[in-house]
Structure 1
Amino acid sequence: MTEHKLAVVGAGGVSKSALTIQLIQNHFVDEYDPTIEDSYRKQVVIDGETCLLDILNTAGQEEYNAMRDQYMRTGGRGGGVLCVFAINNIKSFEDMHNYREEIKRFKDSEDVIVDTKQAQDGIPFIETSAKTRQGVNDMLAVSRDCAKKKKKKKKKKKKKVILNSSLFYNYMIYIPFT
């Protein structure tokens, strides 16, 4: 069985947990409860393939940066990272640079931020909503597709995939580990 390992990172309050819980438990959590670190595992079917999904939902608060660093230092669990930010919170967007640098410090990953025009040119751009579940399963398909491409093209440039969560105004950037 294929295992998909993902870490979900981003500033506090950008709905990382709401999206993760909707994906794992098919339940929408509308109240904000700051996460220190939660791990979720679930067997899922993606495009007819049974997979084991292993998600680490990380803390968004700055006081837990050391925990994220430790995660990256110990190998990132061999998967990728979903970076989440809210478009109604400019600081959470600006933090994406810090997450990118943090990931690059521990992993050799070259990536490209995808804008709307690039999405029109065939790079995935998926709207998601934790409340309505719109696009939530598509997040898995994108991570699986990125993992397959990574295996085939290890020496080629990696790409970030931005996923838009319209209800909470979130975007996620998938960064596969090399």
Structure 2
Amino acid sequence: MREQYMRTGEGFLLVFSVTDRGSFEEIYKFQRQILRVKDRDEFPMILIGNKADLDHQRQVTQEEGQQLARQLKVTYMEASAKIRMNVDQAFHELVRVIRKFQEQECPPSPEPTGKEKDKKGCHCVIF
């Protein structure tokens, strides 16, 4: 079932809990699985360190999250679903990353001139 979601997804939030080192250590595996299922070397993803409001229980530092994001070549954000910190921003950033990726995959074609019609083209829809 997970791979079906991966096949149809346009982009992914890779979320781990900053209070759980085990969830952080699983991220690399999930990212690799997504790339394998998509048969790509890169794909729109953002790394999210959740539960950022629980600083006193933190097991993963912000620097570790940023370092992993650099390694995976993705954006890193910290969030807290409990206090709604960066939740909307994470989804907005993911949409930006998806759109940028899609534009690179299929840049807009120039306006057709005269009787020329460009029947090729990419159509991208984000739900």
TM-score (norm 2): 0.51
Larger Rg: 2
Report how far residue 86 of structure 1 moved: 1.4
2:97 aligns with: 146
SS in 2 for 1:153: helix
Code of the aligned partner of 1:68 = R
2:31 aligns with: 100
Q: CA RMSD in A?
A: 3.0
Contact conserved, 1:127 with 1:135, CA < 8 A, in 2? Answer: yes
Distance in 2, Cα, partners of 1:98 & 1:82: 14
TM-score (norm 1): 0.38
Distance in 1, Cα, partners of 2:3 & 2:75: 28
Per-residue CA deviations over 1:13-69 (Å, capped at 9, x if unaligned) read: xxxxxxxxxxxxxxxxxxxxxxxxxxxxxxxxxxxxxxxxxxxxxxxxxxxxxx212
User: Larger helix proportion, structure 1 or 2?
Assistant: 2
The alignment covers a number of residue pairs equal to: 82
Contact conserved, 1:85 with 1:92, CA < 8 A, in 2? Answer: yes
Q: Check 1:99–1:131 CA distance in 2 against 1; reply closer, same or farther (3 A cut).
A: same
The answer to whether 1:135 aligns with 2:69 is no
Code of the aligned partner of 1:128 = A
Higher RCO (Cα < 8 Å, 6 or more apart): 1
Distance in 1, Cα, partners of 2:76 & 2:5: 27
Paired-residue identity, %: 28
User: Larger strand proportion, structure 1 or 2?
Assistant: 1
Contact conserved, 2:12 with 2:94, CA < 8 A, in 1? Answer: no
